[in-house]
């Protein structure tokens, strides 16, 4: 009898995984992800309890002790071991503290490009208990001034080649009361102190941990600027806890301590800095991305992991084919924004590489990871997740969440597109933007499901299918409505680049007087040495796009402007509209009878005066 019960039980246990598998083929990956997430939670709690805090810097120092001679940063012709990185940053920390009188809690703005000094500066500031404000090194004048004043920086560290940009903002007549420190070049400009000699003379001995004794998990570690589509950049507060979370993402994605990471993304952004640099593995650092050098670099340095963002994979796929392109050790790509078709093409060309899509905003309190590797998905929903989030109905025309009769938001049914919002709470905080309550408040959505609750508004429209895979649909602002239809800009752009003469396309909506919504417009870049083929373009859009989605206007640019993370700029273009008096570039108009014809002042007036109805 007992034996019978025992056998039945055992058989039941054996069948259980099978049953689970049939119900959910991803059960093992789900479980393994859940276990990793729980482990991360425990680790974070443990680090937080340690007094003083065990920070990412401490983890770096442990690595210095464990393997001092392992290479940490490889840049151009130089290679630096963990010990050398430690010593360089000790010297810099001493020079900075002596000359800018820095103390724990001060903020220092870094204005430099991807180079080893960037890494030393961050480590140096962490050693002093200071917060680094990571300025976008491409910004200039008013934006630059705004960025270092909004985080109340006490000093500004200027790197090689950036002095000129900095000096421009002096013309704005603002009197700066901060220390200006040039760390990589001699300069005799009044008011700027060159630290080159002082860094060389400083001692490379370790700094006392007492300097950062009061740092805790909630202390800001860095400020990272996020660019809005309009207005000045905002400084997202990244506290120590967030830095830890981001580094854990590497282990969730399957990065090991012996991996070699190829890092070309700007260090002033969260992808490059938090998910790349802070992971603490060997890094091949590059100033910027180069599609033609990518695989050679990977081969030369035995790269095993790389990061990508936005259009990178497409750039790689559009390089000329080579015989040795499957000859490399790359096994993992981590990033965000690869399109399904590019994903498939990429694997087919360059061999099997695990692609791990991750989703999360720099300042957001929610993220997803596609740990299963499902082509096209940006993540997978975790069934046992404790984070309350929802996809809610969103009106793209009014640009606001749809509310029911009681004033609450409406969750969309599974499989439908909605705006991702995540409840702000103790476990899922939203630190907001430095000294900018207005922008912080804009990202908070109140009274979502009950009176008084607060959610973080991600600004992203997502879809979650019945298996729990999360798909990116659009960023608010990346769709426009025309003739009562939603037009997805990326979709139109993808069709445009299929036309032979078009290399790149940036699609956006422009306002037309007397019309509701926005009509489509594209800024395109032509292939080298090729003229615009109006007929082919017209045939293509007519064949593949519904009439409301066809770009009514096209402007031809010598290059399509992108942000530091290769996102296309749209805001300014949309504002410039389609006025030939404003736009000096070649401008075309889609005449329904004739195809794309040159835009004239006459056509412009006819449209704005309503003589031509679009
Ligand atoms: C790359 O790996 C090969 C074989 O494992 C090794 O011989 C070579 O020295 C490595 N190159 C570098 C730069 O580490």
Judged by DSSP in three states, 421 sits in strand
Q: Is 539 in the pocket of ligand 1 (CB under 6 A)?
A: no
Q: Are the C-beta atoms of 332 and 303 separated by less than 8 Å? A: no
Mean pLDDT of 41-66: 92
Ligand 1 closest atom vs CA 301: 13
Distance (Å, whole) CA 579 – CA 276: 43
List the one residue out of 144, 330, 95, 134 whose CA is nearest residue 238. 134
Judged by DSSP in three states, 501 sits in coil
What single string gives the DSSP state of each residue in 220-277? EEEEEEE--SSSS-EEEEEEHHHHHHHHHHHHHHT--TT-EEEE-S-TTSHIIIIIIG
DSSP 272: I
List the one residue out of 199, 196, 174 whose CA is nearest residue 186. 196
> What local confidence, expressed as pLDDT, does residue 303 receive?
98
Report whether pLDDT(230) > 70.
no
Report whether pLDDT(163) > 70.
no
CA of 347 to the centre of ligand 1 (A): 24
Among 262, 302, 330, which residue has the most ligand 1 atoms within 8 Å of its CB, making it the best to mutate?
A: 302
Q: Is 301 in the pocket of ligand 1 (CB under 6 A)?
A: yes
> What local confidence, expressed as pLDDT, does residue 534 receive?
92
pLDDT confidence bin for 25, thresholds 50/70/90: confident
CA of 77 to the centre of ligand 1 (A): 16
Q: Is 302 in the pocket of ligand 1 (CB under 6 A)?
A: yes
CA of 585 to the centre of ligand 1 (A): 50
Of 30-34, 49-53, 114-118, 183-187, where does the model show the most confidence?
A: 114-118
Angle at CA 424, nearest 5°, toward 418 and 429? 125
> What local confidence, expressed as pLDDT, does residue 568 receive?
66
Hey, whose CA ends up nearest to atom 7 of ligand 1?
302
Report whether pLDDT(174) > 60.
no
CATH second-level architecture of 248-363? Answer: 3-Layer(aba) Sandwich (3.40)
Q: Are the C-beta atoms of 380 and 369 separated by less than 8 Å? A: yes
Of 5-9, 191-195, 300-304, 372-376, where does the model show the most confidence?
A: 300-304
Ligand 1 closest atom vs CA 302: 1
Report whether pLDDT(281) > 90.
yes
What number of helices (H) and strands (E) belong to the chain? 18, 30
Report whether pLDDT(177) > 70.
no
Q: Are the C-beta atoms of 93 and 70 separated by less than 8 Å? A: no
Hey, whose CA ends up nearest to atom 5 of ligand 1?
302
> What local confidence, expressed as pLDDT, does residue 141 receive?
63
- Please provide the distance, in angstroms rounded to a whole number, between the alpha carbons at the two ends of the chain: 83
Report whether pLDDT(201) > 80.
yes
CA of 301 to the centre of ligand 1 (A): 7
Structure tokens at 115: 């180079």
Hey, whose CA ends up nearest to atom 10 of ligand 1?
302
Distance (Å, whole) CA 553 – CA 196: 52
**Count of residues for the chain?**
614
Report whether pLDDT(176) > 70.
no
Structure tokens at 438: 């207005």
Judged by DSSP in three states, 394 sits in strand
Q: Is 329 in the pocket of ligand 1 (CB under 6 A)?
A: no
pLDDT confidence bin for 590, thresholds 50/70/90: very high
Q: In what order do the strands lie in the sheet with 518-526?
A: 502-511, 518-526, 553-557, 586-591, 595-598
Q: Is 328 in the pocket of ligand 1 (CB under 6 A)?
A: no
Report whether pLDDT(247) > 80.
yes
Mean pLDDT of 462-483: 85
> What local confidence, expressed as pLDDT, does residue 229 receive?
42
Q: Is residue 291 left, alpha or beta, with left meaning phi > 0 and alpha meaning psi from -120 to 50?
A: alpha
Whether the full predicted model's pTM is greater than 0.95, yes or no, is no
Residue 429 makes CB contacts below 8 A (sequence gap 6+) with: 365
Q: Are the C-beta atoms of 419 and 460 separated by less than 8 Å? A: yes
User: Phi and psi dihedrals of 595, rounded to 5?
Assistant: 90, -155
Beta-bridge mates of residue 391: 420
pLDDT confidence bin for 59, thresholds 50/70/90: very high
CATH: 3.30.460.10, 3.40.50.1010, 2.30.38.10, 3.40.50.300. Which one for 376-475? 2.30.38.10
Look up the CATH number of domain 479-608.
3.30.300.30
Sign of the torsion angle spanned by Cα atoms 427, 430, 435, 438: negative
Judged by DSSP in three states, 594 sits in coil
> What local confidence, expressed as pLDDT, does residue 11 receive?
63
Neighbours of 488 (CB within 10 A): 16
Report whether pLDDT(460) > 60.
yes
Mean pLDDT of 237-249: 90
Percent of the chain with pLDDT over 90: 49
Q: What is the mean pLDDT of the chain?
A: 86
Structure tokens at 333: 């790509």
Q: Say which residue, 142 or 590, is predicted with more confidence.
A: 590
What class, spelled out in words, does domain 50-246 have in CATH? alpha beta
Report whether pLDDT(231) > 60.
no
pLDDT confidence bin for 138, thresholds 50/70/90: confident
CA of 328 to the centre of ligand 1 (A): 11
Q: Say which residue, 179 or 317, is predicted with more confidence.
A: 317
Ligand 1 closest atom vs CA 300: 13
Are β-strands 305-309 and 260-263 bridged in parallel, bridged antiparallel, or unpaired? parallel
Report whether pLDDT(209) > 80.
yes
Distance (Å, whole) CA 546 – CA 562: 27
pLDDT confidence bin for 550, thresholds 50/70/90: very high
Ligand 1 closest atom vs CA 260: 14
Hey, whose CA ends up nearest to atom 1 of ligand 1?
302
Q: Are the C-beta atoms of 417 and 396 separated by less than 8 Å? A: no
Strand residue runs (E) in 502-610: 502-511, 518-526, 553-557, 586-591, 595-598
Mean pLDDT of 423-433: 87
CA of 254 to the centre of ligand 1 (A): 22
Residue 557 makes CB contacts below 8 A (sequence gap 6+) with: 523, 524, 525, 585
Dmax over Cα atoms in the chain, in whole Å? 96
CA of 228 to the centre of ligand 1 (A): 43
Half-sphere exposure of 162 (CA within 13 A, CB side): 26
CA of 296 to the centre of ligand 1 (A): 13
Report whether pLDDT(130) > 90.
yes
Structure tokens at 473: 């649909």
pLDDT confidence bin for 9, thresholds 50/70/90: low
Structure tokens at 539: 């045939």
Mean pLDDT of 157-165: 72
CA of 302 to the centre of ligand 1 (A): 6
Q: What is the pLDDT of residues 310-365, one digit of tens each?
A: 678 888 988 899 999 999 999 999 998 887 888 989 999 999 999 999 988 788 88
């Amino acid at each position: 009898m007992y034996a019978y019960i025992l056998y039945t039980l055992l058989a039941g246990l054996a069948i259980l995984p099978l049953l689970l598998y049939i119900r959910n083929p991803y059960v093992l990956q789900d479980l393994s992800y859940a276990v990793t997430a729980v482990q991360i939670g425990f680790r974070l709690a443990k680090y937080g309890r340690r007094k003083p805090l065990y920070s990412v810097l401490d983890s770096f120092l442990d690595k210095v002790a464990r393997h001092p001679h392992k290479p940490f940063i490889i840049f151009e012709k130089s290679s630096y071991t963990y010990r050398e990185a430690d010593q360089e940053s000790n010297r810099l920390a001493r020079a900075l503290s002596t000359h800018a009188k820095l103390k724990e809690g001060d903020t220092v703005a870094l204005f430099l490009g991807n180079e080893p000094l960037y890494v030393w500066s961050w480590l140096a500031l962490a050693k002093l208990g200071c917060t680094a404000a990571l300025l976008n090194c491409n910004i200039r004048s008013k934006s630059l001034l705004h960025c270092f004043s909004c985080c109340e920086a006490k000093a500004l560290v200027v790197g090689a080649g950036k002095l000129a940009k900095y000096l421009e903002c002096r013309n704005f007549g603002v009197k700066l009361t901060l220390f200006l420190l040039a760390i990589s070049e001699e300069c005799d400009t009044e008011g700027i102190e060159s630290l080159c000699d002082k860094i060389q003379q400083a001692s490379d001995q370790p700094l006392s941990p007492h300097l950062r004794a009061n740092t805790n998990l909630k202390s800001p570690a860095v400020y990272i600027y996020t660019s809005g589509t309009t207005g000045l950049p905002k400084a997202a507060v990244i506290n120590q806890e967030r830095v830890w979370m981001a580094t854990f993402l590497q282990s969730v994605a399957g990065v090991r301590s012996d991996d070699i990471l190829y890092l070309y993304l700007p260090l002033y952004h969260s992808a490059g800095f938090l998910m790349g640099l802070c992971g603490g593995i060997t890094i091949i650092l590059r100033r910027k991305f180069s599609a033609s050098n990518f695989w050679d670099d990977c081969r030369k340095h035995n790269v095993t992991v790389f990061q990508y963002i936005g259009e990178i994979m497409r750039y790689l796929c559009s390089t000329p084919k080579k015989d040795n392109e499957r000859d490399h050790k790359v096994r993992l790509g981590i990033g965000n924004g690869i399109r399904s078709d590019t994903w498939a093409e990429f694997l087919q060309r360059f061999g099997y590489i695990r692609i791990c899509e991750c989703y999360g905003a720099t300042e957001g309190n929610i993220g997803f990871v596609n740990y299963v590797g499902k082509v096209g998905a940006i993540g997978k929903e975790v069934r046992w997740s404790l984070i309350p989030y929802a996809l809610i109905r969103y009106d793209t025309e009014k640009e606001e969440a749809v509310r029911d009769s009681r004033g609450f938001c409406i969750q969309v049914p599974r499989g439908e597109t909605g705006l991702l919002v995540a409840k702000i709470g103790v476990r899922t905080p939203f630190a907001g933007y430095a000294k900018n309550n207005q922008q912080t408040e804009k990202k908070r959505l109140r009274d979502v499901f009950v009176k008084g609750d607060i959610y973080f508004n991600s600004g992203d429209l997502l879809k979650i299918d019945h298996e729990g895979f999360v798909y990116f649909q659009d960023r608010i602002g990346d769709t426009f409505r025309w003739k009562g239809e939603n037009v997805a800009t990326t979709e139109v752009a993808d069709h445009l680049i299929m036309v032979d003469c078009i290399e790149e396309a940036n699609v956006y909506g422009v306002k037309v007087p007397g019309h509701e919504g926005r009509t489509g417009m594209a800024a395109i870049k032509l292939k080298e040495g090729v003229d615009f083929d109006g007929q082919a373009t017209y045939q293509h859009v007519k064949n593949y796009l519904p009439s409301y989605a066809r770009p009514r206007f096209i402007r031809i640019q010598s290059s399509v402007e992108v942000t530091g993370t290769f996102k296309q700029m749209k805001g300014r273009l949309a504002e410039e509209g389609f006025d030939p008096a404003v736009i000096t570039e070649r401008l075309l108009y889609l005449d329904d009878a004739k195809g794309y014809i040159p835009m004239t002042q006459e056509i412009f007036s006819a449209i704005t005066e309503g003589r031509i109805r679009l």
